[in-house]
A and B are shown apart, each in its own frame.
Chain A
Amino acid sequence: MSRFALINSKNNKNTRLDQNGLGDYKYGFSMPENYVFKSKKGLDEEVVKMISAMKKEPVWMREKRLKGYRVFGEKKMPDWGGDLSKIDFNDIFYYIKPNQKVEKSWDDVPKEVRDTYDKLGIPEAEKEFLGGVKAQYESEVVYGSLRKDLEDLGIIFCGMDEAVVKYPELVEEYFGKIIPPGDNKFAALNTAVWSGGSFVYIPKGVKCDKPLQAYFRINSANMGQFERTLIIVDEGAYVHYVEGCTAPIYTTDSLHAAVVEIFVKKGGRCRYTTIQNWSTNVYNLVTKRAWVEEDGVMEWVDGNLGSKLTMKYPSVFLAGKRAHGEILSIAVAGKGQHQDAGGKCIHLAAETTSRIISKSISFRGGRSSYRGMVTMNKGAKNAKSKVVCDALILDRNSRSDTYPVNKIFESEVSLEHEATVSKIGEEQLFYLMSRGFEEHEAEAMIVNGFIEPIVKELPMEYSIELNRLINLQMEGSVG
């Protein structure tokens, strides 16, 4: 189960050491391209229509896409956050289809795709562990399996493209409901050209005891990945959805603009775990939002390790009484990286509670920012929220920012926000080194201790690999 398994660099054709400041970053391989279909570069109405036609979509979806395209043209680029000026929308392939049909059996998956996954160290045995695997390679779901026992419970877990055909009434009702195209430029772009992503429906009262996992990868230079995920957790149901990303290294910039919409009905609970490890040329601009009804619980666990620039603020709308939202976020920014991450909790109803915990690490000139918002609307009586942001800066060239906004429109509430910024304590380091640890080992231990409160919330195999990956990134980075 090695989501971040180290790959022997002898096997890597395209490994470029130290390109991203990670020393021996092992995921930088790429496979020969073998596509059934590739759209032309750039975006116009024809490309949008063509994508819709290729997917044989119903008219309503095509209309949603075209509306998204129009809004995309009208919306301005955000003038806050990271530097987006280098993105050239005309230099991107918006749709690549690697294989004609959605595969069901592992053996039918094309060899190159399988090789890529082997290098990432996803063993076939994982099928035994996971409820179902949806691996997104390029823009299309190429491999999907769902264990029968889950299917028997009525759980739907399939590719978004498949869902448009098979469950049109659910998709039409919820698609774009909490993230309309007008929300922001990248949500509009995603609406226009989305491809792939997952659709999950958990029926009333069903507890999905195994995490559902999706796998995302970009494997072609200049290819944007615009997956669209929709999760509906019905009354009293529970699901844990896990999404992890790694991408090969290319010299030209790539764009990843995903949209994730989650609906948690009365008494339901959803946990969404992401570990994002894009290579350091990727712009990762993702809109994630959850709508939570009475007594529902939404938990975002968000780890941002890779990418050139990440702008991602998972949001929770607490719409029903006693709904609870939780956002746990880790950001690691190394050389040339800017992690602009955080979270938003909007309290719309009485007795709603939320907690945001953010831990960020900046090193080798990296910049990490926490950007968050807590809003308590009139009527959100006895709402409570707590925000804690801790930042660790490992050297003089690195930077850390905190930009929280707390808007309170109801007097009977309680809100706490605190943030601290510090470096690794000399005394802690001295203590560990006096016990015989090398300096870099001691540093890694301290960093791992720093992020421990969030790492312990991850599925076990993820937390082990995350610790290992951070050790690797950290080597010799302090001083």
Chain B
Amino acid sequence: MNKVIIKKQNLMMALVVGRGETVDLETISEYKMPRGRGEIVVKAVVMGKGSLELKGMIKIGEKAVLTEAFLRQNILLLGEDAKATAVPELEIETDDVKASHAATVGQIDKEQLFYLTSRGISQGVATKMIVEAFLEEVLSQIDSKEAEIIRVKLERELSYGY
């Protein structure tokens, strides 16, 4: 699969990397003027044998004082042989700015899963609930048709088992 580069200062993105799929995505947020504001949020679920390369650059130039720029990458690895690379980067050439980035890579919280299954919910449904909740932050913010496409894809991927 080809590399996708998105140049934006604001972005809410949910990604489902299906079984055996490879996704290579880079976001670049460049600030050249003063008082810029931006936030990039990428939430991704990687299924078994899936592979995700996620890069995110925030570049704040010399003249871009009073910029506030944030980047967050949350990746959930589901199933065997799921791979992810998260590269959040910052380049800042002036002082008076607020900039931060954060990246997490993790698995489904076993305690959450235990809680739900102990309430009589099947493992499959519980997993789906947790994963949907993970993506919900983005899904609730984006166009509902697009959110639906992602939900359908997630459901299909989960139905293969993981």
Contacts and interface: CB of A to CB of B under 8 A. Distances in A.
A116 interface: no
Contacts of A419: 88, 90, 100-102
A103 interface: no
Interface string B99-118: 11111111100000000000
Give the interface SS of chain B, mostly helix, strand, loop or mixed: strand
A413 interface: yes
A2 interface: no
Given A393-B92, A393-B94, A408-B83, A402 B101 contact: yes
Interface residues of B, number: 36
A380 to B, nearest CB: 12
A470 B104 CA distance: 33
B107 A411 contact: yes
Contacts of B105: 406, 408, 413-415
B62 interface: yes
Contacts of B147: none
B88 A402 contact: yes
Contact of B93 (A399, A406, A420, A423): A399
A409 interface: yes
Interface in A366-401: 378, 391, 393-396, 398-401
Contacts of A378: 81
Given A409-B83, A411-B80, A417-B103, A400 B92 contact: yes
Interface string B63-107: 001000000000101111111111111111111111111111111
A422 interface: yes
B84 A394 contact: no
A206 to B, nearest CB: 39
Nearest to A416: B104
A398 B95 contact: yes
A401 B81 contact: no
Contacts of B97: 393, 421-423
A411 B91 CA distance: 30
A413 B106 CA distance: 6
A411 B82 contact: yes
B93 to A, nearest CB: 5
A398 B89 CA distance: 17
Nearest to B53: A407
Nearest to A389: B90
Contacts of A77: none
A369 to B, nearest CB: 9
Nearest to A369: B91
Given A411-B80, A418-B100, A404 B107 contact: no
Given A417-B103, A421-B100, A411 B78 contact: yes
A1 interface: no
Nearest to A363: B95
A112 interface: no
A417 to B, nearest CB: 4
B84 A422 contact: no
A80 interface: no
B80 A415 contact: no
A115 interface: no
A401 B92 contact: yes
Contacts of B91: 399, 401
Contacts of B103: 404, 406, 415-418
B107 A414 contact: yes
26 contacts: A378-B81, A391-B90, A394-B95, A395-B95, A401-B90, A402-B89, A403-B87, A404-B103, A405-B85, A406-B85, A407-B84, A407-B85, A411-B81, A411-B107, A415-B86, A416-B103, A416-B104, A417-B101, A418-B100, A418-B101, A419-B88, A421-B90, A421-B97, A422-B98, A422-B99, A423-B97
Given A408-B75, A412-B77, 7 more contacts: A396-B95, A404-B89, A408-B85, A413-B106, A414-B104, A421-B98, A421-B99
Interface of B: 46, 48, 62, 65, 75, 77-107
